[in-house]
Amino acid sequence: MDGFDHILHWQLKAGSHPFPGQDGGTCINEAAIVAAGFAYQPVRSVDEMPACFSRPICRLAMRLNDEATDEQRQRLLPFVMRLACADTEQVERKRAAYIYERMKGRVSFEDGLSVLAGALAIGRQADPPDATDASTRLSTAQSRAKHATSVPEESLSALFTSWAWVKRKVKVS
C-alpha cells in the first residue's frame, strides 16, 4: 500500500500509552490521531477519539490491535491513515452492523483485517494526508519522547482483558 512507507519505523503496541517512545510505540488509534494532525493523546476508549474518526472502525481497530501478536499488529500500519473517516449517523450504523455480523465470537486476525478493510470501504473515505506532513507529525511525536520505548498504561479494563485472553489460551488444571 503506497503512502504509508514513512510510518514503517513506527511500532504499534497493545494498550494505551501516556506518550510514545522514540520507537513510536503506540496503539493504532493513537498513531492515527498523530498522523491526522492532532496532538498526541492516549486512547483508552474510542470515545476519546476526535469527532472525525469513525467509532465503529476505531473500536474494531483497537480490538485487532490489542488481540494481535506483536508481529501481526504491525500489519495494521497501512490502516493508520485511514481511520479519520467519520460519516453520517446512518453510515456509521451500517459500518457497525457490518462489523458486528462478521466479528461474532472468536475471529482470526486475518479475518479481522478483512473486516476492517470492508468496513473502511463503506461510506466516506479518509482524506489522505500529505505524506510529508504525516511523516513530520509522527517524527515530531517520536522526537519528544523521553524514553527509548513507549511505556504502556495499564488501565483496569486492559488488565481484565489481558487476564481473560490468557485464561482462554491457557487451560488451568
Cα distance between residue 81 and residue 113, in whole Å: 15
Percent of the chain with pLDDT over 90: 45
Give the CA distances from residue 86 to residues 20, 82, 119, 120, 157, in Å, rounded to whole numbers and listed in that order.
25, 10, 12, 10, 25
pTM of the model: 0.73
In the chain, domain spans: 5-169
Question: Which residues touch 21 (CB under 8 Å, ≥6 apart)?
Answer: 142, 145, 147, 148, 149, 150, 151
Give the CA distances from residue 79 to residues 5, 121, 163, in Å, rounded to whole numbers and listed in that order.
12, 12, 27
Write out the three cell numbers for 84: 479519520
- Better pLDDT: 16 or 32: 32
**Confidence at residue 71, expressed as pLDDT on a 0 to 100 scale:** 93
Write out the three cell numbers for 2: 503506497
**Confidence at residue 107, expressed as pLDDT on a 0 to 100 scale:** 94
CB-CB neighbours of 132 under 10 Å: 9
Average pLDDT over residues 82-94: 95
- What's the pLDDT tens digit per position in 52-74? 999 999 999 999 999 999 999 99
Supply angle C-alpha 44, 134, 71, rounded to 5: 55
- Better pLDDT: 33 or 6: 33
Average pLDDT over residues 89-104: 96
